[in-house]
Amino acid sequence: MSDKGDSPASTKKGETDNATSQTATERLNQVSSHIAPKPPKKKSAKSAASHLPADYSDVRSQIDALRGIAAKPDSSHRGYVRQKQAGKLWVRERIEQLLDRGSFREIGSVSGTVKWKQTGPMRETPAGFVPSNNVQGMGKLRGRRVLLTADDFSIRGGHADGSTAEKTIYLEKLAIALKLPVVKLVDGSSGGGSVTTIRKAGWSYLPHVSMYKQVSQQLNMGIPNLGAVVGPAIGLGAARVVSCHFSVMAADIGSLFNAGPAVVEGATFEEGLDFQDLGGPMVHCTNGTIDNLAANEAGCYEQLRSVLGYLPNSGSDAPPVLPCSDPESREDEGLRSVIPRRQARMYNPWTIITSVVDRGSWFEIGPLWGRTAIGGLARLGGRPVGVISLNCEVNGGALDAAGSQKLARLLKLCDVMNIPVLQFIDVPGYAIGTVAERTATMRWGVELAKTYYSTSMPIFNVITRRVFGVAGGIMIGSRDPVMQVAWPSGQWGSLPLDGGIEVGHRHELREAEKAGRKAERYQELEEEYLRLMNPVRTANAFGVEEIIDPKDTRAVCCAWARHMYEGAMRERLADRAAGRIQPVFS
């Protein structure tokens, strides 16, 4: 049989097998190409990022440039020129003068408005920089770490359109977190409103004072807030410094008001006002808005340093105790005769204060307002104490509305700062008469009473002379058991004899007058009451705990302060930590 060619069926089958084999090979090659490593591609050009320095020196140079601009004033800028013409230090000069040398560490050092100039694909440099008009940071004040905020009035007068609100709020929060004192140098509106903000944003806004939540919390936590008015404090700036535990104003450059003269003129038609007329030191250092007055900026800063020395970092701590070279047993025989035998005669109450406390430690708060009362801080054996006295040289020592407000503020300060209070009592009662009624003396007297009974810091009384009426009862009776001593010159009762005899013996004296014997009978009654009011008789009945020789007053007070700090202070701090004591300042 002869050979024949392949049949059509076998040919078709072979073609199919070849196609299948080719397809499988292609698929295998595709899988291999995904699995096998690809050979490196030759770079045609370097990426843009590779041109930037590996050590980020470009970014660091930008920061250095911005810091350099912020650290040096522009002597040609009209804001800086105006600052110097007003006799004011520039903001960074103030910081250098206030804080310990070299201790300031700025927070937000490059915050502000920057104009950038592009110098390459990913490179730019500052072409112009307007720093934030509020300089903030951390530094030391006589070795104590503090947070500082200082206005730069040379930049938009301290208004909001030159500030960074988040920066201010951050520092307030930081003070709470770190429990560090805050010092505020106010010159301007501290980021307060300006109509130009509306123009810049393109829309008007509802005003918010976001920081006040943190400020109120600091005040009640006993985190010292200390403020100085070193220029015109306007609106929000005024509110910030008035909110502080302690405030001081520079007499030569300081002023404070809700709105400036131009705004006042448009609203109340009061024309020709300058800063001093509207809200200078003779206005606000005599009405209690600002606590103290200083001659100049340097005086303000010295007062801030002094006050901080008496205060703890927060209410969680005890006040700082310093070494004392003044003997606690020191006697002063001059105190035996400081109180006149004639009750109508006055004396210098500061003589008693400065004799009893550590030499050189007396720091008065509010000397120019509420002058019927005297208040301040001092030390006994190096231990901080609040000091309260009445001023018999003003209104006979009768406590008026302003005096009550001043004492209430000091009591609250001592309470949040854990500072015991020493009182020298010579009070004839609350002020009386038409002026007293018109100024709401009883309203503020009752507020003082509430403060005495709502605070919990220890109080020690030295009764030097008079304790009469509601005012006297409140001042000595707010603690149980009472801790006090009296001097031999003490007198007390519901009413002073002057006027009291007239009220209690009205009918008898009227009858004596008919017989022509009123003066004689009045003298007989006065002599009888003076005999019965001998303080020794009160001590016989244990109406007063102890009558001491005035020369021993310092030793007695120092012993009390020592016990308060060595024993009661530990219990108080534990109670505050557990929330059993919650003092309130604001």
Q: How confident is the model at residue 157 (pLDDT cuts 50, 70, 90)?
A: low
pLDDT, position 23: 64
Q: What is the pLDDT of residues 498-514, one digit of tens each?
A: 778 888 899 999 989 89
What's the pLDDT tens digit per position in 60-77? 999 999 999 999 988 888
Percent of the chain with pLDDT over 70: 88
Same domain, 220 and 365: no
pLDDT at 314: 97
Q: Measure Cα distances from 78 to 83, 92, 135, 158 in Å.
A: 8, 17, 19, 14
Do 413 and 500 lie in one domain? The reply is no
Of residues 533 and 302, the one with the higher pLDDT is: 302
- pLDDT of 520 higher than 80: yes
pLDDT tens digits for range 263-316:
898 999 999 898 999 999 999 999 999 999 999 999 999 999 999 999 999 999
Which one is predicted more confidently, 3 or 207?
207
Question: Would you state the pLDDT for residue 158?
Answer: 55
Model pLDDT for residues 230-273, shown as the tens digit of each residue: 999 998 899 999 999 999 999 999 999 998 888 898 999 999 89
Asked whether the predicted pLDDT for residue 6 surpasses 80, the reply is no
Lowest mean pLDDT segment, chosen from 135-144, 149-158, 400-409: 149-158
Distance between CA 491 and CA 426 in Å, rounded? 9
**What is the structure's pLDDT at 439?**
96
Does the pLDDT at position 19 exceed 60?
Answer: no
Residues 295 and 337 in one domain: no
Query: Is the pLDDT confidence value at 40 over 80?
Result: no
Query: pLDDT at position 206, please?
Result: 77
469 and 451 assigned to the same domain: yes
* Arithmetic mean of pLDDT, 356-373: 98
- Between the ranges 30-34, 187-191, 542-546, where is the mean pLDDT highest? 542-546
Establish if 9 belongs to a structural domain.
Answer: no
Instruction: Look at residues 260, 293, 308 and tell me which one is the last residue of a structural domain.
Output: 308
Whether the per-residue pLDDT at 17 is higher than 70: the answer is: no
Domain-located, residue 352: yes
The token duo for 422 is: 């020493």
Residue 275 to residue 269: CA distance in whole angstroms? 16
> Is residue 285 domain-resident?
yes
- Cα–Cα distance between 566 and 558 in angstroms, integer? 12
Cβ–Cβ < 8 Å for 395, 431: yes
Q: Which residue has the higher pLDDT, 26 or 63?
A: 63
18 found inside a domain: no
Distance separating alpha carbons of residues 550 and 200, to the nearest angstrom: 68
320-330 pLDDT per residue, tens: 999 999 999 99
Query: Do 506 and 461 sit in the same domain of this protein?
Result: no
- What is the structure's pLDDT at 507? 92
CB neighbour class for 142 (10 Å; exposed up to 12, middle 13-18, buried from 19): exposed
Do 291 and 391 have their domain in common? Answer: no
- Kindly report the CATH number assigned to the domain that includes residue 380: 3.90.226.10
Number of domains in the chain: 3
Same domain as 174, residue 241: yes
Residues in contact with 168: Cβ distance below 8 Å, sequence separation at least 6, in sequence order: 134, 136, 149, 190, 191, 211
pLDDT of residue 216: 95
Mean pLDDT of 345-357: 97
**Whole-prediction pTM value?**
0.86
Does a structural domain hold residue 89? yes
> Where is pLDDT greater, at 351 or 258?
351
Q: What pLDDT, on the 0 to 100 scale, is given for residue 190?
A: 55
Best CA proximity match to 243, nearest among 149, 325, 155, 162: 149
Q: In whole numbers, what is the pLDDT of the chain averaged over residues? A: 89
Q: Is 55 domain-assigned?
A: no
Whether residue 340 is found in the same domain as residue 231: no
Summarize pLDDT for 456-502 with one digit per residue, the tens. 999 999 999 999 999 999 999 999 999 999 999 999 987 778 778 88
The confidence score (pLDDT) of residue 191 equals: 56
| pLDDT score, position 162 | 53
Question: For residue 400, is pLDDT > 90?
Answer: yes
Instruction: Single out the residue of 41, 496, 2, 582 nearest to residue 315, CA to CA.
Output: 582
Q: Of 146, 129, 130, 127, which is closest to residue 138 (Cα–Cα)?
A: 146
- The pLDDT, as a whole number, for residue 14 is 55
Instruction: Give mean pLDDT, residues 348-355.
Output: 98
**1 pLDDT higher than 50:** no
Count of other CB atoms within 10 angstroms of residue 569: 19
| Domain interval for residue 530 | 495-538
Residue-level pLDDT at 208: 73
**Among 159-163, 280-284, 408-412, 565-569, where is mean pLDDT lowest?**
159-163
Fill in the DSSP letter of residue 120. E
Average pLDDT over residues 163-181: 90
Tell me what pLDDT residue 2 has: 47
Instruction: Look up residue 43 and give its two tokens.
Output: 């770079």
Considering the domain architecture, whether residues 518 and 386 belong to the same structural domain is answered as: no
Same-domain check for residues 532 and 560: no
In a domain, 411, yes or no: yes
Q: Are residues 417 and 532 in the same domain?
A: no
Cα distances (angstroms) measured from residue 255 to each of 114, 134, 243, 387: 32, 19, 16, 29
pLDDT of residue 346: 95
Q: What is the pLDDT of residue 224?
A: 98
Does 375 reside within a domain? yes
Q: What is the pLDDT of residues 542-559, one digit of tens each?
A: 999 999 999 999 999 999
| Bridge partners of residue 139, in order along the sequence | 146
* One domain for residues 347 and 460: yes
Distance separating alpha carbons of residues 422 and 483, to the nearest angstrom: 10
- Report residue 388's pLDDT band, with 50, 70 and 90 as the boundaries: very high
pLDDT higher than 80, residue 8: no
